[in-house]
Structure formats: structure tokens, C-alpha cells
Amino acid sequence: MSETEKPLNFLQQIVADDLESGRIDALLTRFPPEPNGYLHIGHAKAICLNFGLAREYNGGCNLRFDDTNPEKEEERYVRSIEEDVRWLGFEWRAEVRFASDYFDTLYQWAQYLVEQGKAYVCELDAQAMREHRGTLTEAGVNSPYRDRSPQQSLDLLEQMRVGKIDEGAATLRAKIDMASPNLNLRDPVLYRIKKSSHHRTGDKWNIYPSYDFAHGQEDAIEGVTHSICTLEFEDHRPLYDWLINELPVPSTPVQYEFARLNLSYTMTSKRKLRRLVDEERVDGWDDPRMPTISGLRRRGYTASAIRAFCDMIGVTRSDGVVDVGMLEFAIRDDLNKNAPRAMCVLSPLKIIVSNFADGGVELISAPAHPDRSELGERELPFTRELYIERTDFSEDNTLSRKKFKRLVLGEYVRLRGAYIIKAERVVKSENGEITELEVSLVADTVGQSPPEGIRPRGVIHWVSASHSKTATVNLYDRLFLSETPGSGDQDMTEHINPDSLQVLENCRIEPGLARATPEQGFQFERVGYFVADRRSHSEQHPVFNRTIGLKDTARR
Ligand code: ATP
Ligand code: MG
């Protein structure tokens, strides 16, 4: 049973019933990605569903690569997919499987269908095949090759296999019903000729099984009990069942469909994401703006936040678009609870504390997290020269206290966790830019309420000028400005946000942050949630990526 009080979703209900009634002894699901790109947030939903069911009902889940399209598939995608599934917190049953492991068996089953008079080699080209297929309102027309003898089909199939027939010149088709109202049953293609090298079987095969011929049979070979896919395969289910029924398969899997995840402002198609990579519109598949699992990870999303998101959206059979704000909520909630606090000044303005000893250092302790004392304390060196955020100071002391809860000339503000200071005097360069600010501190105000008559406008963050380190901070924003990128006649590239990345090179971080381990997440107080970049962060050259802002300020 699920751990929460939530009612079972329809798939949990089906599995529970099947175990109860004895239709199955044990649950076996599978996650079947095609290794033609990196996994994205939509796949995370399918992963959490399949591996999650296996976990909840003491079953197993296979990881099976559906590698039946040799042109597009690569070994590096296999590795990235394995890494992503593990990172999300799941482990597949026994070894990884590949559709290509079953090519011999599938070929024997193709021959078997031909021998039974249930499949034939068709020599119509793609165009002619389309014409014979009919439409939703019109029955199709039988192929002139439909009634050739099984022996002739067997011979041709063998010639296809060994490469004696050109690509496109022949296919193996199931012999079902050209008048079926379901187009998938109008003699669907089971094998096509492709003379490309396969990432695992090399040049052994010149023909490759179609998705429909491969998928259910692989499920049956593995003993998958519940083959869960997205709704667009609902119309394929009769074919799935037909093949399972006609072939001497060792088990009887059943296909179930659920609604795919569509997320606002987000592209969830490997093919389109690959285009963004190929056209160098992003910095690779794991660019922190990408909705890939590796991109989200590099952006600072945690596996638990992604799992929580998948749990939140649930599993149904009705299509819709999920607000990306829900994903953002999940990570913000996780980081708010778990991320240590730290200070980082993005755009530094130097301030000189005139009444603090030159060369002096006062160590001020601050909690790593306001509500979690077990995370310990950090030490912030307070020195005569500090940095504050340029945007936290204004010369204009007529600004209302309500609107500008920061430092203005002649008034007070509290430095987070430290002293209350007063802005005394600005130092400007020849062109009028403020280069420094002279301030004075109010004695005995660390951890103390302000003395009578002193009213700080607010609290601002700061770091020591001499003890802080320089860091690069990547401010990421949404990659697309449109809620439905690439919809209608528009190309998705027209919807790309030109300001989705702003790189700040001269940020100043509190000293301990330089020692962050890559992938460690923080709340930079008053600024947002950030993560040490897993690719480039080092103590010598700290690099942080903005995961998400502190509040939901969505322009929705
Ligand atoms: P893409 O179009 O992005 O390549 P796909 O469905 O072709 O997606 P596969 O590698 O075949 O990608 O997908 C593996 C599994 O993930 C399938 O079972 C598929 O149903 C599921 N899946 C893919 N996209 C989504 C999504 N947006 N929401 C839920 N499940 C998805
Ligand atoms: Mg696919």
C-alpha cells in the first residue's frame, strides 16, 4: 500500500486487484526508454510510476532500452539514462535489458507468423502503402502481395535479413484486417529494412522490428505483468494483444495507459531537446535550463523534489498541462526545509566601517538553518571593510521606509546576524559612480535589539571584503517565454527567452561557501536558492547556479 493517506490511483488499484485475485503472483513493470537522447521531466513521471509501483507492491521493474532505431541511438545515451534513473533513487531488477537482446527471438517469431499465414512480405513502397491504407472513414485495400505463399514470404524475409533487398523495397506486415476501424490493425509493419549499424549488434542485422512488433514481445519474454505506457498507445493495444495471442510467447503481459506529463513553459520531447543541443542554443543536454533530468540536477533540483513533484501531479488518464509552478514549488519547498543558509553579494558595493579597528576580525556565529539547529553554525568574519549589495543602498533618504527596507544615507540598517550600521558618507568616482560607502556601527547590537531611538529600515546581507571569495554566479531563468513553446505555426526557437542566462563574474561569497561540494544547494539569504555547479565549481573558482528564486514571482 502507499505510504500516504492518498487514495490509490487507477494503476495502484489495478495492481492491488491483480495481486488479490491471483492474476499475478508478483508485479513486474518496466521502464523502456529509447536511447536517442537524455531523459526529461516527462520520463521522470514514467520512472516514478513504474519503479514506484514495483517498490510499493514488492515487485520489480526492469530497465529496458528500446533500441530498435539504429540511426538515432547511441551508447552515451544508454549511460546517461542509467545514471539518471539511479540518481532519481531507483534500481532496476537484475541486469539492464535491451530490445536488441531479443532480435533473434523476434526474428524467429516473425518467421512463425509467416508460417501460420499471419504475416507476409509486402513490396509496396511507403507511398503506395499509405494509399492502400485507407482513412478513418474508408476501409483500406489489400496489398497485392498479401496472398503470396508463406514459403515465398519466408524466402524474401530471409533476403531482407541478409541485406539482399534495398531499404524501402520491402517490409514484413502482419496479416490482420485492412478494413479494421483501427488503423493500427490494417496489416501493420513488423519489420523494415535499415542498413545502418546498430550501437550494440553492429552490422549483424539489415532489418529491425517495429515498435509494435518488439514491445509486447519483449514484455512477454521478460515476464512483465503490467506494461504501462502513455495514452497515445491506447489505439495500439489491440495490436499488442493480437501479437501476444498469435505468438508462442512465454507470458501474457497487459498494456495500460496513463496521461503523459505536459508542463507549461517546458518542452518535453527528446527530438526537440536534441535540436536545442545540436543548434547550440543551450550548453549541452545538461544545461541547467534544460528540462532534462541531468539539466534539472545541474540546476540544483534534488531527486526528492522531483519525486515529490511526480507524487503531487498524480497519475490519471486525462491529458492536461501541469503548471511549471508546481515543479518550482516542489524544489523551493525542499530547499527551504533543507538547504543551509549562506550569504552572497551579487553586485558588491564596498563599505568601510569607520569605527571598527583596521585589521581587526570579529567572528560572528550564525545558524546554518534558522529551524534546524542540527545543521550547526557557521562563522562569519566581520571586518572593517565589507561588501553589501549595490541595490541595497540608496543616497535618496526621502524613499519611504515601507518601499525601501534597506540602507539610505543618514539612516540605519541591520547587517544580517551582525551589527546595526548607519550610512554616513558616499565616495564617488569622477564619473559620479559610488565607489565606496562610509558607515559607522552601533556598538553592542549583535544579537541585540536596537537601542532607543534607532530604527533600522531592514536587514541586508553582507560579507567581509578581505575574507570573502570571488565567485561566478549563473542566474538562470526559464528557457521559453511561451506557456506552450513551439505550438501553432511557430517554431519553438521563436519562443526562446533571450535573457535565460545572466553570468555574474564578481560576486562575493562568505568564506565557507568556497568549500561547498559540487551539487550542494544553499539558500543565499535574500537572494534565492543556489547550487554549486557540478561541472565547474571548485574551491579555487567557485561557481553557483541559481536554482530558483525565493518566492513565486511568476509572470503567469
Ligand atoms: P520523447 O518524445 O521525448 O522521445 P518518447 O516517449 O519517445 O518521448 P521514450 O524513450 O520512448 O521516449 O520513453 C520511455 C518511456 O517514457 C515511455 O514509456 C514513455 O511513455 C514515457 N514518457 C515519455 N515522455 C513522457 C511524458 N511526457 N510523460 C510521461 N511519460 C513519458
Ligand atoms: Mg519514443
Compute, in angstroms, the gap from residue 528 CA to the centroid of ligand 2: 36
Q: What is the pLDDT of residue 552?
A: 79
Question: Quick check: CB of 229 below 6 Å from ligand 1?
Answer: yes
Q: What is the pLDDT of residue 3?
A: 56
- Looking at every residue in the chain, the average pLDDT score rounds to 96
Mean pLDDT of 25-37: 97
The identity of residue 459, as a single letter, is V
Taking CA atoms only, the protein residue closest to ligand 1 atom 16 is 43
Question: Quick check: CB of 46 below 6 Å from ligand 1?
Answer: yes
Considering the candidates 260, 390, 405, 416, report the single residue annotated as catalytic: 260
Say how far apart CA 193 and CA 208 lie, in whole Å: 6
Taking CA atoms only, the protein residue closest to ligand 1 atom 18 is 229
Point out the least confidently predicted range of 14-23, 187-196, 378-387, 480-489. Answer: 480-489
Q: Is 60 exceeded by the pLDDT of residue 4?
A: no
Compute, in angstroms, the gap from residue 321 CA to the centroid of ligand 2: 20
Q: Is 70 exceeded by the pLDDT of residue 457?
A: yes
Q: CA nearest 135: which of 180, 172, 70, 202?
A: 180
Compute, in angstroms, the gap from residue 479 CA to the centroid of ligand 1: 21
Per the listing, cell 559610488 goes with: 434
On whether the CB atoms of residues 1 and 56 are closer than 8 A, the answer is yes
Q: What is the pLDDT of residue 556?
A: 40
Ligand nearest to the CA of 65: 1
Question: Quick check: CB of 30 below 6 Å from ligand 1?
Answer: no
Q: CA nearest 218: which of 323, 347, 340, 101?
A: 101
On whether the CB atoms of residues 476 and 500 are closer than 8 A, the answer is yes
Q: What is the pLDDT of residue 185?
A: 98
Q: Is 70 exceeded by the pLDDT of residue 555?
A: no
Instruction: Please work out, in degrees rounded to the nearest 5, the angle formed at the alpha carbon of residue 338 by the alpha carbons of 337 and 339.
Output: 115
pLDDT tens sequence across 472-509: 999 999 999 999 998 888 899 999 999 999 999 999 99
Say how far apart CA 529 and CA 522 lie, in whole Å: 6
Question: Quick check: CB of 228 below 6 Å from ligand 1?
Answer: no
Q: Name the helix (H) or strand (E) containing 507.
A: strand 501-509
pLDDT tens sequence across 258-279: 999 999 999 999 999 999 999 9
Taking CA atoms only, the protein residue closest to ligand 1 atom 9 is 33
Give DSSP secondary structure letters for 107-166: HHHHHHHHHTTSEEEE---HHHHHHHH--SSS-----TTTTS-HHHHHHHHHHHHHT-S-
Q: Determine how many CB atoms are found less than 10 A away from the CB of residue 353.
A: 21
Compute, in angstroms, the gap from residue 70 CA to the centroid of ligand 2: 13
Ligand nearest to the CA of 229: 1
Question: Quick check: CB of 32 below 6 Å from ligand 1?
Answer: yes
**Dihedral over Cα of 276, 282, 287, 289: its sign:** negative
Q: What is the pLDDT of residue 201?
A: 96
Q: From the alpha carbon of 37, which atom of ligand 1 is closest?
A: 4
Question: Quick check: CB of 289 below 6 Å from ligand 1?
Answer: no
Mean pLDDT of 390-408: 96
Question: Quick check: CB of 43 below 6 Å from ligand 1?
Answer: yes
Domains parsed from the chain with CATH numbers: 10-260 (3.40.50.620), 270-341+471-548 (2.40.240.10), 347-460 (2.40.240.10)
260 in catalytic set: yes
Distances (CA, A) of 3 to 28, 51, 478: 20, 15, 34
Q: What is the pLDDT of residue 434?
A: 96
Compute, in angstroms, the gap from residue 287 CA to the centroid of ligand 1: 20
Question: Quick check: CB of 34 below 6 Å from ligand 1?
Answer: yes
Compute, in angstroms, the gap from residue 123 CA to the centroid of ligand 2: 26
Q: From the alpha carbon of 50, which atom of ligand 1 is closest?
A: 18
Say how far apart CA 22 and CA 8 lie, in whole Å: 19
Q: What is the largest CA-CA distance in the chain?
A: 103
Compute, in angstroms, the gap from residue 241 CA to the centroid of ligand 2: 20
pLDDT tens sequence across 411-444: 999 999 999 999 999 999 999 999 999 999 999 9
On whether the CB atoms of residues 382 and 361 are closer than 8 A, the answer is yes
Considering the candidates 64, 173, 200, 270, report the single residue annotated as catalytic: 270
Taking CA atoms only, the protein residue closest to ligand 1 atom 2 is 269
On whether the CB atoms of residues 365 and 409 are closer than 8 A, the answer is no
The identity of residue 374, as a single letter, is E
Q: From the alpha carbon of 40, which atom of ligand 1 is closest?
A: 3
Say how far apart CA 531 and CA 526 lie, in whole Å: 15
Q: What is the pLDDT of residue 1?
A: 47
Ligand nearest to the CA of 269: 1
Ligand nearest to the CA of 34: 1
496-501: which pairs have CB atoms within 8 A and are 24 or more residues apart?
A: 496/281, 500/289, 500/476, 501/289, 501/474, 501/475, 501/476, 501/477
Question: Quick check: CB of 269 below 6 Å from ligand 1?
Answer: yes
Question: Quick check: CB of 260 below 6 Å from ligand 1?
Answer: yes
Q: Is 80 exceeded by the pLDDT of residue 194?
A: yes
Say how far apart CA 52 and CA 303 lie, in whole Å: 14
For 394-422, give the secondary structure using H, E and C. Answer: ECCCCCCCCCCCCEEECCEEEECCCCEEE
Q: CA nearest 14: which of 285, 317, 286?
A: 317
Q: Which of 230, 264, 290, 319 to mutate to test the pocket of ligand 1 (most atoms within 8 A of CB)?
A: 230
Q: Which of 29, 40, 43 to mutate to test the pocket of ligand 1 (most atoms within 8 A of CB)?
A: 43
Say how far apart CA 314 and CA 329 lie, in whole Å: 15
Compute, in angstroms, the gap from residue 32 CA to the centroid of ligand 2: 9
Question: Quick check: CB of 48 below 6 Å from ligand 1?
Answer: no
Q: From the alpha carbon of 33, which atom of ligand 1 is closest?
A: 10
Compute, in angstroms, the gap from residue 44 CA to the centroid of ligand 2: 14
Q: What is the pLDDT of residue 487?
A: 84
pLDDT tens sequence across 131-146: 999 999 999 999 999 9
Give DSSP secondary structure letters for 50-92: HHHHHHHTT-EEEEEE----GGG--HHHHHHHHHHHHHTT---
Question: Quick check: CB of 270 below 6 Å from ligand 1?
Answer: yes
